[in-house]
Structure 1
Amino acid sequence: MVEEITGNLRLRQATDQLSSLSLLSHSIKVFSSKWKLIRNKVDQILSILSSLPPQIQPSPENLTLSAIIHSIQQTTDYSNTLAHKCIQHSYTGKLLMQSDLDIIFVKFDNNLNSLSELVNSDGFFLSNANYAIVVSRPGPAASRDDIKFYVKDLLCRFKIGRLEMKKQALVSFTQVIQEEGERYVKIAMELDGLVHVLLKFLNSKEVGIQEEALKSVAVICGFDSYKSVLVGIGIVAPLIRVLETGSDLGKELSTRCLMKVTANSDNAWSVSAHGGASALLKICGGSGCDDAGGELVGLACGVLRNLIGVDEIKRFVVDEGAIPMSIKLVRSKNEASQISAIDFIEVMASGNEYVRGLIVNEGGIRVLVRVLDPKSSYSSKAREKSMRAIMSLCSDSIGCMNSLKTYGFMDHILHFLHDGEVSIQESALRAASWLCGTSDEFKKAMGDAGFMPEIVKFLDAKSFEAREIAAETLSNMVVVPRNQKRFVQNDQNVNFLLQLIDPTPSEGNSGNRKHLLSIIMSLSFCNDGRKKIISSGYLKNIEKLAEDQVLDAKKIVRNLSSNRFRSMIRGIWHS
């Protein structure tokens, strides 16, 4: 026990002496370049000594470490003497002092080499049985100090452990931050040197070390407050190098990190400046889209999607062939690649008429509509994405809208309204709403194709959004007289509409009710529509709203009343 205390004291004394010398050297004005070199060696020695866990101390069992510590203390004492002479300008000659400082530098360099060689030697940790036992992971209720001690122990292993020990420590670190989240990450990020060690591991030639480090970085990148720290220390450059030369897993992990980093558009320039856009395009344009590599391609495409939020980068990737590349990926057999490529096309087309034209010229609309073909093997998610991309691509373009007719877009939308999963039905409903808002020509075509009976089914859907979209779509369609006549041919339609109109005040109901009243208003201008509204037992719902001063309901009642009056006059004149 006495020997352990003595060992602790000697190591603490050596550390304190080195710290004092490092601090003192900053105040020396003469021979500043030589003192800077000495200080760098001192700081490197300090870094290793401070990383040694409490269990490893200079002792009779650690004679080599004791000898190194003794040599360091001797060199430090002599350095302090020279430092004070320099501060007081009491040295006998410049040449002699320069020679003495060179000797000091060599001694510290030797100390550093000896210390590094010792802690990285095969038997060092094995000969320290206490440290060979890994510190246990703290439990869920552990204090901050316990967590800090555990993470600091892992950091020690990162710095001075052998290769296998470094890897085991990395595995433990990744596991704990994945499972415990920000609590551990926050403490880890406060430890001096941890992020720099992770950065060093990303450049490791040992694949296992590099991959484990990437897993840790991927977790840390998930927190906005620490993401900027990683970018600040230069994490982007090694991530790009992994993209270019790493293992398949390394590339996948790197793209996941970059995906999180580029969620903030401020970092897009950093990724592009290090050649990230070119590396990602190469991955997306390479082979492997139809097998296990499809996951990597999908991720790379996702990072590119984040990058092109910057117009200059968008122009670059378009010039580098991003459009034909993404269209090719939509045709691939891998779902991840398909979905990411569709998203990428949509973002490229957004707000850029020139790029939109290039996509159309490359056959982008045809490919996206083909995704919607019920006979194809695309997933519902890919089809939903494709509908959204088509709406983004074809808005405000008469030529594109005509292409949609030619390629059978309406038929596919109608199919999924009639027979599709709930999610794709709602996507098809939104597409139908968008389509009928483009022109009266499409409203007529949709009426002729049989859209209205399918849309009516959504008026009492469970989803309020679906009910509102359906009501708004029908409201737009029945503006066309031909659709009014077609709608009232079904005796149940008008009755169903009036039944759905709730005359009681209801929060959140007014928007949908407004669309339903708009439909009724349009139908009241059609002779058959008026007759069926007047003869419906649910007309009282409209009358009740009119009594409550609901403007649209009052207009409908007024319209119906005036028509009744005109009918009475015609009856008198013809009697």
Structure 2
Amino acid sequence: MHPATVPPPQPATAPPSPSESLEEITQLLSHLLPSTLSITCFASRWQVLRSKLASLKSLLSEISDSPHWSENPLLPPLLPALLSTLRRVQTLCQHCSDASFSRGKLLMQSDLDMAAGWLSKQINDLELLLRSGVLHQSTAIVLSRPNPSSSKEELTFFIKDLFTRLQIGGLEFKRKGLESLIQLLSEDDKSAALVAKEGNVSCLISLLDLNAHDSLRELAVHAVSLLVSAGDLPRKIVFEEGALGSLLRIIECSSAPIKEKAAMAVESITADADNAWAISAYGGVPILIELCKSGSLTSQAHAIGAIRNVCPVEDIRVALAEEGAVPVLIQLLASGSASAQGKAANCISILASTSEYFRNLLLQEKGLQRLLHLFHECPTADTLEHVLSAICSLSASDTSYRVLSGSTMFIIRIAELIKHGNLRLQHISASLLAKLSITDSNKIAIAGCMGSLLKLMESVKPDAMQEVATKALVSLLSVKANRKELVRDEKNLIRLVQMLDSKNDVVSKKFPVAVVAAIMAGGSQGCRKKLIAAGVYGHLQRLAEMDVAGAKKALHRLSGNRLTSIFSRTWRE
């Protein structure tokens, strides 16, 4: 027997080029369109198919007129699928034209509807390519970020091409598109507004769906988190496209890294007060509270930030109380990161300022003790502001008021902040000092902050700073030793006289007048001499003539001797 003859290997058939595929599709369409005119069965369905075939022919003609269409990497993968669909339509056309064909009516109807659906999807992809303008570029598109000197037009094209890939590309195209988008937003957050305007954000949001591919969903969450944190316009558009619900579902059932990015996005979205209500609509309150309890430190910080953003909404505050948020907030003061501690304190401040109900809840969970402990640990300035603000809000409770008024350590610390803290810390500290009932011994212990309070009386901002600084200073001046201490410093006298000057319109004159009245409340001759020597008397006379509140009373105290002042005060009383 002769050995079997092995045939020589045949060369692999090279796939048709894009031009060849387009030509074959065009020829097939030219044959199909007139062939469908003679079909009488299933007339309405064939009318729909004819309309789609005509639209397809027009689109292909427009594509072929684009000088560089074949260089775009997104188009070639579409052509084989389109050719397959047209061949299927051709087969259906032949069957419907053959009177002897006996296929079931319902099955044929189903096949025709499926063919129409495939054509719709492929037509939509081709329209998207044409609308994006990516087929008119002179070179093949490479997904690399334009350099910083690129024009707005170049960046816009890059964004459109990127989102085109997200909509009609395969898995790898979508993955690379998302990576490029993340790179763009990471390196240039100013591009976010252009991305939101020129990109198809709804397509990006669709990739957040739990049914989307895991790798795409993770990249999409990262991109969305960068987009919403970059400005008001991107945040508004992302919210309006319905991203919040998807992000909350991701927090509920995804891995830790994805939860962190999703929580970051939710915090950014809820930073817009107009979006806060939607947390309840999507059932987000228990999801965020659970993340505060069991998430990573980063997730906790973003989750509590989102809760902080939405707790001004009354309905959400009710939900927070019902879902047990208060103990979680207090726990974060002890175990959270510095960022989470500050946001938790801020949230507590908001809740405590709304009602006695929340103040009682917070006190029951030892909220004041936790806040005071954190306050004395000297955290960052930002955290310290929120902690002190929360303490200030809780001080509206009688229990807290008594505790804070009797705490020498706390009183001394806020006096130090009045002297050395930033303007916000000085304002909150002065507010507390003005409202608390402090013992004379503690007032003497913090006399060193009086000069700083006098200086704060000149501050235009924040609002009410001049008033609270004056009230705090007047409170300290109820002690004789402090009155003498204040006028002993020549810088204090100079500053007080400058504020009393009627030409100085920075400070409302009632405030320095109240300080003079407080200094002279005891009728000290030594204080009187120093004030008169500094020039206070003349300024008070002018202010009394101008009917400035309290000026006449302060002038009377300053002008009379001690015995006369006592008799006058007794007579007035």
The one of 210, 213, 220 equivalent to 2:217 is 210
Residue 243 (structure 1) shift = 0.5
Output the TM-score relative to the length of structure 2.
Answer: 0.72
The one of 501, 523, 533 equivalent to 1:527 is 523
The one of 273, 276, 295 equivalent to 2:281 is 273
Look up the match of 1:417: 415
Cα distance change of structure 1 residues 182 and 267 upon mapping to structure 2, 3 Å threshold = same
Partners in 1 of 2:518 and 2:52 — Cα distance?
84
Partners in 1 of 2:59 and 2:559 — Cα distance?
92
Give the AA of the match of 1:533. Answer: R
Partners in 1 of 2:201 and 2:335 — Cα distance?
42
Partners in 1 of 2:209 and 2:254 — Cα distance?
10
Partners in 2 of 1:555 and 1:15 — Cα distance?
100
| Percent identical residues | 21
Cα distance change of structure 1 residues 470 and 435 upon mapping to structure 2, 3 Å threshold = closer
The one of 210, 223, 227 equivalent to 1:220 is 227
Q: Which range moves more in the overlay, 235-244 or 331-340?
A: 331-340
Residue 169 (structure 1) shift = 1.6
The one of 177, 182, 194 equivalent to 1:186 is 194
Partners in 2 of 1:421 and 1:560 — Cα distance?
29
Look up the match of 1:331: 334
Q: Which range moves more in the overlay, 256-265 or 161-170?
A: 161-170
The one of 448, 459, 470 equivalent to 1:453 is 448
Partners in 2 of 1:546 and 1:563 — Cα distance?
17
**2:316 maps to 1:308:** no
Query: Do 2:493 and 2:534's aligned partners in 1 also have CA atoms closer than 8 Å?
Result: yes
The one of 368, 371, 375 equivalent to 2:371 is 368
Look up the match of 2:350: 347
Q: What are the Cα deviations for residues 59-114 of structure 1, in whole angstroms up to 9, with x where unaligned?
A: 9xx99966654565677799999xxxxxxxxxxxxx99987654433445677899
**2:164 maps to 1:156:** yes
Instruction: Compute the RMSD of aligned alpha carbons.
Output: 5.0
Look up the match of 1:230: 238
Cα distance change of structure 1 residues 546 and 197 upon mapping to structure 2, 3 Å threshold = same
Matched pairs, number? 511
Give the AA of the match of 1:367. Answer: R
Pairing 1:123-522 to 2, within 5 Å after superposition: 134-140=142-148, 142-181=150-189, 183=191, 185-186=193-194, 189-191=197-199, 193-203=200-210, 206-222=213-229, 223-286=231-294, 293-332=296-335, 334-373=337-376, 376=377, 378-395=379-396, 397-405=397-405, 408=407, 410-418=408-416, 422-423=420-421, 427=425, 430-438=428-436, 442-445=437-440, 448-460=443-455, 464=459, 468=466, 469-478=468-477, 480=478, 483=479, 485-490=480-485, 492-493=487-488, 496-500=491-495, 501-502=497-498, 504-506=501-503, 508-511=505-508, 514-522=510-518
Match of 1:525, SS state, is helix
Query: Do 1:416 and 1:424's aligned partners in 2 also have CA atoms closer than 8 Å?
Result: no
Give the AA of the match of 1:433. Answer: S
Match of 2:146, SS state, is coil
Residue 421 (structure 1) shift = 8.4
Look up the match of 2:14: none
Partners in 2 of 1:51 and 1:324 — Cα distance?
63
Output the TM-score relative to the length of structure 1.
Answer: 0.72
Look up the match of 1:27: none
Cα distance change of structure 1 residues 435 and 182 upon mapping to structure 2, 3 Å threshold = same
Look up the match of 2:6: none
Partners in 1 of 2:395 and 2:45 — Cα distance?
66
Query: Do 1:41 and 1:109's aligned partners in 2 also have CA atoms closer than 8 Å?
Result: no
Q: What are the Cα deviations for residues 507-558 of structure 1, in whole angstroms up to 9, with x where unaligned?
A: 55323x5322211122223232x44223556442431452474545555334
Residue 319 (structure 1) shift = 2.0
Cα distance change of structure 1 residues 423 and 139 upon mapping to structure 2, 3 Å threshold = same
Query: Do 1:294 and 1:336's aligned partners in 2 also have CA atoms closer than 8 Å?
Result: no
Q: What are the Cα deviations for residues 326-384 of structure 1, in whole angstroms up to 9, with x where unaligned?
A: 111111162122212212222222312212111112211122122223xx364443333
Residue 302 (structure 1) shift = 1.3
Match of 1:138, SS state, is coil
Cα distance change of structure 1 residues 372 and 185 upon mapping to structure 2, 3 Å threshold = closer
Query: Do 2:405 and 2:411's aligned partners in 1 also have CA atoms closer than 8 Å?
Result: no
Q: What are the Cα deviations for residues 181-236 of structure 1, in whole angstroms up to 9, with x where unaligned?
A: 45564355445x54224422553665442232122212332443443443333312
Partners in 2 of 1:515 and 1:462 — Cα distance?
8
Partners in 1 of 2:513 and 2:493 — Cα distance?
9
Cα distance change of structure 1 residues 565 and 42 upon mapping to structure 2, 3 Å threshold = farther
Query: Do 1:447 and 1:477's aligned partners in 2 also have CA atoms closer than 8 Å?
Result: no
Give the AA of the match of 1:352. Answer: S
Residue 134 (structure 1) shift = 1.0
Partners in 1 of 2:153 and 2:484 — Cα distance?
77
Partners in 2 of 1:474 and 1:63 — Cα distance?
79
Q: What are the Cα deviations for residues 443-495 of structure 1, in whole angstroms up to 9, with x where unaligned?
A: 444754523332224434698359845444212443x4xx1x22234384375
Partners in 2 of 1:349 and 1:515 — Cα distance?
30
Query: Do 2:433 and 2:472's aligned partners in 1 also have CA atoms closer than 8 Å?
Result: no
Cα distance change of structure 1 residues 505 and 140 upon mapping to structure 2, 3 Å threshold = farther
Pairing 1:24-35 to 2, within 5 Å after superposition: none
Partners in 1 of 2:50 and 2:247 — Cα distance?
34
Partners in 1 of 2:201 and 2:57 — Cα distance?
17
Q: Structure 1: which 5+ runs fail to align?
A: 19-29, 82-94, 117-129, 570-575
Cα distance change of structure 1 residues 319 and 17 upon mapping to structure 2, 3 Å threshold = farther
Cα distance change of structure 1 residues 221 and 40 upon mapping to structure 2, 3 Å threshold = farther
Look up the match of 1:122: none
Cα distance change of structure 1 residues 169 and 342 upon mapping to structure 2, 3 Å threshold = same
Cα distance change of structure 1 residues 557 and 7 upon mapping to structure 2, 3 Å threshold = same
Query: Do 1:189 and 1:195's aligned partners in 2 also have CA atoms closer than 8 Å?
Result: no
Residue 158 (structure 1) shift = 1.9
Look up the match of 1:126: none
Cα distance change of structure 1 residues 319 and 187 upon mapping to structure 2, 3 Å threshold = closer
Query: Do 2:279 and 2:285's aligned partners in 1 also have CA atoms closer than 8 Å?
Result: yes
Partners in 2 of 1:67 and 1:487 — Cα distance?
91
Residue 298 (structure 1) shift = 1.5
